[in-house]
Amino acid sequence: MTIDVDPKPALRLTRDRVRDRLTFPARHFLERGFSRKILDSFDVGYSAKRDRIVVPLYDEEGIHCIGDTFRSYKPPCGTCRKHHDPGVPCKYGQQKWGIMRGFAKRAYLYNYAAALRADSPFVFLVEGPPDVWRLGEAGYVGVALLGSSMTDEQHRKQWPSTRRS
Ligand SMILES: [Zn+2]
């Protein structure tokens, strides 16, 4: 018996549509020393609707956004370990990072499309999008797991035969 899994992602937005939803630059990451240029190239912006920084997740062609990951820009709370402004009750705390519900992150590598096209003999494997941006600023190409452990699906991703990841 085979089990059907709907291969179509729920979200499928062009880059223009993605950028229409967001405000640039994402001040939180500018303050953490990322350049406007690198944040802009990855379409990292602020979403008023979510009240978080949004990091769009593009498909393997790098054309359509198929999901979002979010970063709270609020300060961490020592009591609940979530993120919220001082004086705001802990129940309103946000996780530091979140991801769109139902996103197939186990089979996803952030920046994979660009890494496939990059003229580089190797690709760094890192944990999160900010690590990919740091590498980009230094002239290197990275892909991120969106977590700290690699899944079998991520491990099986195809690379050109000349490339060692
Ligand atoms: Zn709290």
Q: Residue 65: CA atoms inside 13 Å, Cβ hemisphere, count?
A: 20
User: Per residue, what are the HEC states of 69-93?
Assistant: EEECCCCECCCCCCECCCCCCHHHC
Name the residue with tokens 């990919």: 132
pLDDT at site 2? 57
Q: What is the pLDDT of residue 4?
A: 55
Ligand 1 centroid – CA 90 distance (Å):
4
DSSP H or E stretch at residue 160:
none
The number of CA neighbours under 13 Å toward the Cβ of 132 is 24
What is the per-residue pLDDT for 37?
96
The full set of domain ranges for the chain reads 1-103, 104-165
How far apart are the CA of 72 and the centre of ligand 1, in A? Answer: 13
Q: How far, in Å, from the CA of 38 to the mean position of ligand 1? A: 32
Average pLDDT for consecutive 10-residue bins of the chain (165 residues)? 56 93 95 96 96 96 94 96 96 94 92 92 94 97 93 85 54
Q: How far is the CA of 89 from the centre of ligand 1 (A)?
A: 6
User: The domain 1-103 is classified under which CATH number: 1.10.3210, 1.10.10, 3.90.980, 2.30.30?
Assistant: 3.90.980
| C-alpha 8 to ligand 1 mean position (Å) | 37
Judge whether 80 and 66 are in contact, CB under 8 Å. Answer: no
Distance 91 CA to ligand 1 centre (A): 7
pTM of the model: 0.88
Ligand 1 midpoint to CA 56 (Å): 27
